[in-house]
Amino acid sequence: MNTKHLQQNSPTDITLAGELLRSGEVVGIPTETVYGLAANALDPTAVKKIFIAKGRPSDNPLIVHIAELSQWAQLVREIPESAQKLAQAYWPGPLTIILEKSDLIPMETSGGLSTVGVRFPSHPAAQAVIRAAGVPLAAPSANLSGKPSPTTFAHLCEDMDGRVAALVDGGDCGVGVESTVLSLVGDRPRLLRPGGVTLAQLESILGEVDVDPAVLHQLKEGAVVSSPGMKYRHYAPKATVKLVEGSPERYANFVNAALQNHESGYALCFDEDLPFLTTKTLSYGSRFDSQTQAHRLFTALHELDGMGAALVYAHAPKKSGVGLAVYNRMVRAAGFCIEKPQAPVLIGLTGQSAAGKSTVAELLREHGCAIIDCDKLTRSGEVYNTECIGELCTVFGDELAPNGVLDRKLLAARAFADEPSKAKLHEIVFPHILAAVEREIARHTRNGAEKIVLDAPTLFEAGLDSRCDRIIAVTAPYEVRLRRAMQRDGITEEQAKLRFAVQKTEEFFLTHADHTIENTARESLQKKLAPVLTDLDELTA
């Protein structure tokens, strides 16, 4: 078949795409998630062509795409209020809502199911093509079945040139992973596939949402699947992919050893891993930047094919927010092969002053974690030993330690006088802190600890983040922290505000953690901590 290449910015091309679709042809179209392979959703013959082009099993249902809210009602039996609210909040966008289908949807489109997933994409070219076609469009991701979804026009052409009537070039896809699939069939809302709209965003509208077990775990042989797509091998590049859990340092150590004599081995890693890796690398974003990871993931898998990778050790992404979607795709690309860390695992616990870290640390202790209170350690003679005090006197003056005993008040006055002095203090003290922390880690390890928590407000400043297999950030509203700091430390509001002003921002902690916990009240803390504990237990299982 001679496949036409069409441009999103050409009105005649869009009109042509619409005509082809109306006449029963298949057209590759861009969306904000991934490229889709579209056909008239109401025409069984047209829809069959999609399955042939993709080589897709016919029991795997297709998502129906609309470009006006008014197109929705005719496709489903009923639109409940919860669905209306979701559409209002997240459409157009990367969310597919599954409801009971109407008779208008043929069985070919629904894969034989009585339900249908509908999505209103936000990509202007997707909307333009749907409008030009004048019918709702069934569109799965435009990859050959089993391969990574295409997120660039080049990748679309690689898989579909010669197999369909036309391909519309819409540039690179923004989100990079397929839409969130949510089922509103049944008594409780259920997340079938995580995507750009997060679980937290869904729950902010719906209350509790069940997460289908297939999102994170391999289905048992013969298990009943809520979403047929979950049972197929997915997102796989040519290389064997293995997922490796753990901190940047731990991951790099493992991969460096494993790929030592491997010519075509690659580390599919995060930016933070790069300084520790001695292998061939491909980074797909920062460890904490799930959005960038999602955007780059499928492109990276394609690139690995291009580079001739045979064995790939991918660093496991975090599972919260959009990270859940990245993890879901990655664990499938890896065929659920996960290398877990040797005990003990290290958990960084950090956040702003008076956010309530200690309360969280206490709960973690109850859960069997050993706790290293880095603040307490820092104040101890372990850190401010003779050597450290000597170095401080050289820089800040001998008056600092008249009889070898450190005058902490004077040190604080001088070291916190300005930024350069503070930097100097850190330069001297952090190595001593790190050494003391390592001694504590070694001690707990000897005692058989499986999980060790580093309770460390300056985790990042000290460079301990690269040692941590997980980082938990504790936050609380500014007013709450003020009140707590004044009560706890007997300081004035002014003093508390000054202290907060020199710390990293809440935004920083929110974006630099695997898990964030807003600690507003002790009563709700257990519940907020539950998924974190599950994650930690799975990490050490």
Task: Point out which residues bind Mg ion (CB under 5 A).
Answer: 141
Q: How many positions of this chain bind ligand TXA (CB under 6 A)?
A: 28
CB of 13 to ligand TXA, least distance (A): 19
Q: How far is CA 160 from each of CA 26, 33, 54, rounded to the nearest angstrom?
A: 10, 18, 8
CB of 110 to ligand TXA, least distance (A): 6
Nearer to ligand TXA, 103 or 494 (CB): 103
What residues from 469 to 498 belong to the interface with ligand TXA (CB under 6 A)?
A: none
- Measured in whole angstroms, the distance separating CA 483 from the mean position of its chain's CA atoms is 33
Position with the least CB separation from Mg ion: 141
According to CB under 6 A, which one of 21, 139, 364, 482 is a site residue for ligand TXA? 139
CA–CA distance, 79 with 368 (Å, rounded to integer): 47
Q: Can you say whether the dihedral through the CA atoms of 417, 420, 422, 425 is positive or negative?
A: negative
Q: What SS3 class is residue 39?
A: strand
CB of 137 to Mg ion, least distance (A): 15
CA–CA distance, 515 with 471 (Å, rounded to integer): 7
167: Cβ–Cβ under 8 A, 6 or more apart, which residues? 3, 4, 5, 6, 27, 28, 153, 156, 157, 160, 161
Q: Which stretch binds ligand TXA (CB under 6 A): 138-146, 326-334, 345-353, 367-375?
A: 138-146
98, interface contact from ligand TXA, Mg ion, none, CB < 5-8 Å by kind: ligand TXA
What residues from 209 to 248 belong to the interface with ligand TXA (CB under 6 A)?
A: 227-229
198 is an interface residue for ligand TXA by CB under 6 A: no
Residue type, 110: S
Nearer to ligand TXA, 36 or 323 (CB): 36
Nearer to Mg ion, 326 or 349 (CB): 326
CB of 227 to ligand TXA, least distance (A): 4
319 is an interface residue for ligand TXA by CB under 6 A: no
192, interface contact from Mg ion, ligand TXA, none, CB < 5-8 Å by kind: ligand TXA
Q: Could you tell me which of 463, 501, 72 has the C-alpha nearest to residue 247?
A: 463
47 is an interface residue for ligand TXA by CB under 6 A: no
CA–CA distance, 396 with 277 (Å, rounded to integer): 38
Nearer to Mg ion, 331 or 529 (CB): 331
34 is an interface residue for ligand TXA by CB under 6 A: yes
Torsion from C-alpha of 383, 384, 388, 390, nearest 10 degrees: -170
Count CB atoms within 10 A of the CB of residue 487. Answer: 11
Two tokens at 253? 């150590």
Footprint on this chain of ligand TXA (rule: CB under 6 A): 31, 33-34, 36, 60-63, 94, 96, 98, 110, 113, 115-117, 119, 139-141, 178-179, 181, 192-193, 227-229
